[in-house]
Amino acid sequence: MRAHIARTVAVLIPIALFTVGCGSEKAGGAGSTTPKDRAREVAAAWDGSRAAEVWRAGYYPLADVIQLPEHAFRNDGDKSAYAAENYVLDAELPPVSPKKGKVEWESGSSLSLPLMDARKAYDSVARGGNDGPHLTVTAVKLGKTTLVTSRGPATVPAWLFTLDGYDTPLKRVALEPSVLPGSPIEPLENTTDDLMELQQLVAVGRDGRTVTVLAGHGACDDGAGVRVRETAGSVVLSASILGATDGDCTAQLLFQKVTVKLKRELGDRVLLDAFTGAPVAQRRIPT
């Protein structure tokens, strides 16, 4: 499967625990394996498993749960404030809200989950605290938004934060994801150039035919690549480093957005990381 790679990324994190381009070793875990064999093993472990049943019954966002206002951002200061999560609250947070919120899928199915209160939602967005540029919240109310989930597009409750200078609000989905099922296969132990852990799921296209992830690579290679293995029940992504060479290299981790195209829409198939053997991580890394 050809990966369409966006090479204009991004995020440079100078950490000393990541070194590439200095030779490779076979991946460990429950025995050594090639990347192709590993993807096959992960798919076989998940397809038809109890973990896959739990996944298909739950609510798992496949897009960022924080959605920007239209035409964001007005200037570099606002962009920096968002990246630093710097906000000033110039509004009252609603003190009471419903205890439950409902996920409503386009298929007609629904699921009721505990609703995140306004304070928790605001705190999850405004985690900064430095003296740099900030965004000012002037009003807060409960509303709805749509996003792609593990069961397709859905309408969900969201807290709407009006920002000074913007005509539409910043939206924060007001539901936590369902608890992830335990993986039926163990993660590998050792990273290699041929098989890396994916850093983060960025987004799934609304039509379900494209998947964008953050993949790591070093400073002395040609970037990150992602291979795809599709089955009836799962999509396994295998991240690797392209064009790595032997020799000394600075210990840096670069994050690169990689978009892959699927043969058919993702649907309710489980999106898996070949290295970890688990669903692709949802944690947020600034992109």
- When pLDDT is averaged across residues 69-75 and rounded to a whole number, the result is 95
**40 within some domain:** yes
pLDDT at 228 over 90: yes
Boundary-marking domain end, from 122, 152, 173? 173
Do 104 and 113 contact (CB within 8 A), yes or no? no
- The pTM (predicted TM-score) of the whole model is 0.80
Other CB atoms within 10 Å distance of the CB of residue 254: 20
**284 within some domain:** no
**132 within some domain:** yes
Boundary-marking domain end, from 132, 150, 173? 173
| Ramachandran sector of residue 208 (left: φ over 0; alpha: ψ -120 to 50; beta: rest) | left
Boundary-marking domain end, from 114, 139, 173? 173
Same domain, 189 and 269: yes
Q: What digits encode the pLDDT tens for the residues 76-122?
A: 999 999 999 999 999 999 988 889 999 999 989 999 999 999 999 99
Number of domains in the chain: 2
Number of H helices, E strands in the chain: 4, 16
**287 within some domain:** no
d(CA 173, CA 161): 11
Same domain, 51 and 187: yes
Same domain, 212 and 242: yes
Same domain, 112 and 92: yes
Token pair of 65 as six digits: 């749960």
Q: Given this model, what pLDDT does residue 26 score?
A: 32
Same domain, 79 and 44: no
Which of 8, 27, 20 has its CA nearest to residue 243?
Answer: 20
Same domain, 166 and 186: no
Q: What digits encode the pLDDT tens for the residues 170-186?
A: 999 999 999 999 999 99
Q: Given this model, what pLDDT does residue 192 score?
A: 84
Chain centroid to Cα 135, Å, comes to 24
Same domain, 50 and 104: no
Same domain, 196 and 167: no
Same domain, 191 and 248: yes
Domain range holding 53? 3-58+181-279
Q: Given this model, what pLDDT does residue 246 score?
A: 64
Same domain, 107 and 240: no
Same domain, 74 and 47: no
d(CA 25, CA 149): 36
**286 within some domain:** no
Q: What digits encode the pLDDT tens for the residues 16-66?
A: 333 333 333 333 344 457 999 999 999 999 999 999 999 999 999 998 999
Which of 279, 65, 91 has its CA nearest to residue 181?
Answer: 279
Same domain, 89 and 109: yes
Which of 9, 166, 158 has its CA nearest to residue 97?
Answer: 158
The overall average pLDDT reported for the chain is 85
